[in-house]
Structure 1
Amino acid sequence: MEDMWGKIGETAGKIYHLLEGGEKSLSQIEKILRKEGYNSNIVKMAIGWLAREDKIFVLKDDKKWVIKLK
């Protein structure tokens, strides 16, 4: 069984760097990282990590989730 803590942290770092270029929707983040071999479940866990660390805003409008840096 693989220890996922490191993978989640690595993914959080990738997401943080993506967001330095501006806000992204959850689906945009998943699409970008899927091309690099990242699993969408890990992406969501990493977003949770960043939110818990108070690094990002996670916003919901009528149709999508929007993630941006604080």
Structure 2
Amino acid sequence: MAKPDNRADNEAHLQKHIDHTIANLHEAKEYLDEHASEITADEKQAIEAKNDRRQESIKGFVAEKKDEAQQ
């Protein structure tokens, strides 16, 4: 038997994802600030690209959270 679709805590789950992604974004920025001279250009570019994806994810999470709040 399938579990019922309980979305009561979706906003809380989305906020947790937002907070976690923001923390990872800041941690990566701090890492770049502290170790920029020690990493290769490719590594720096990979971290920056991942941070770009994190920012897009945050936007998506925020939009989804707004949708959940309206339901």
- For this structure pair, what is the TM-score category when the shorter chain's length is used for normalisation? 0.3 to 0.5
TM-score (norm 2): 0.32
TM-score (norm 1): 0.33
The structure where helix makes up a greater share of residues is 2
Q: State which structure, 1 or 2, has the greater radius of gyration over its C-alpha atoms.
A: 2
